[in-house]
Amino acid sequence: GTCQVASAAAACGARLVSYSSDDIFDGMGGPYSEDEPPSPLSVYGKSQWRAEELLRELLPGRHLIIRTTAVYGWNRTSPNFAMFVWAQLQAGKRIRVANDQWCNPTLADYLAEVTAQLIDMGTAGVVNVAGRDRATRFDMAVALARTMALDKDLITSVTTAELGESARHPLQGGLKTEKLRRLLGTEPLTLAESMQRLRRAWRA
């Protein structure tokens, strides 16, 4: 799919924006900058890295790869992590969440806004776009519960191994955002700021 879209973009001289994530890394030494070598663990991560390679091959100088992580937002039609937490906790169901998977929770609205800014600036190459604060998935779930006035005691802290998931996840993940700060001249949203915006969307 990436090859087809990139080839079409190359044929008509268009720039292409694509999203990737910290799943292209093995999670042994995060957070990661844009220039660190990839080492994906899963099929998902490997496919993301291959997509990045195709863009560099087919659209040299005319691609923008945005790496992000743990994207969430208020949208009942979306299966994102915030909506999973909301759906389960508001139904009074207990959930088990990994306490050893690190990420930078990234508000979807912020990701969209920054994407538009980078496009307007004519930015090319790879840019990490993520929240400023690094947290575990468990920490993120607790923050979401508090933000949406739900019972955080329904969230059980477990290790990734205890979850028994078939796909391998990078544990010490997350992304460095120094390049983004230099490009925009502003700081990425903190987790608290992102949660405030999520709360406004939820209340609306």
pLDDT at 167: 78
Q: How far is CA 133 from CA 122, 174, 189, in A?
A: 27, 9, 8
- Are the C-beta atoms of 63 and 3 separated by less than 8 Å? no
pLDDT at 96: 97
Q: Give the closest residue to 179 by CA, choosing from 35, 16, 60.
A: 35
pLDDT at position 165 over 90: no
* pLDDT single digits (tens) 174-190: 999 999 999 999 999 99
* pLDDT band at residue 10 under the 50/70/90 scheme: very high
The model's pTM: 0.94
* pLDDT single digits (tens) 46-81: 999 999 999 999 999 999 999 999 999 999 899 999
Pairing of strands 102-103, 71-72: unpaired
pLDDT at 146: 96
d(CA 130, CA 114): 10
Query: What would the two tokens of residue 121 be?
Result: 């600036």
- Are the C-beta atoms of 115 and 17 separated by less than 8 Å? yes
For every residue of 91-135, DSSP letters joined together read TT--EEEESS-EE--EEHHHHHHHHHHHHHTT--EEEE---SS-E
Interval 87-113 mean pLDDT: 97
* pLDDT band at residue 168 under the 50/70/90 scheme: confident
* pLDDT single digits (tens) 11-46: 999 999 999 999 999 999 999 999 999 999 999 999
Query: What would the two tokens of residue 27 be?
Result: 């999670």
pLDDT: which is higher, 166 or 160: 160
d(CA 100, CA 88): 21
pLDDT at 169: 85
* pLDDT single digits (tens) 116-144: 999 999 999 999 999 999 999 999 999 99
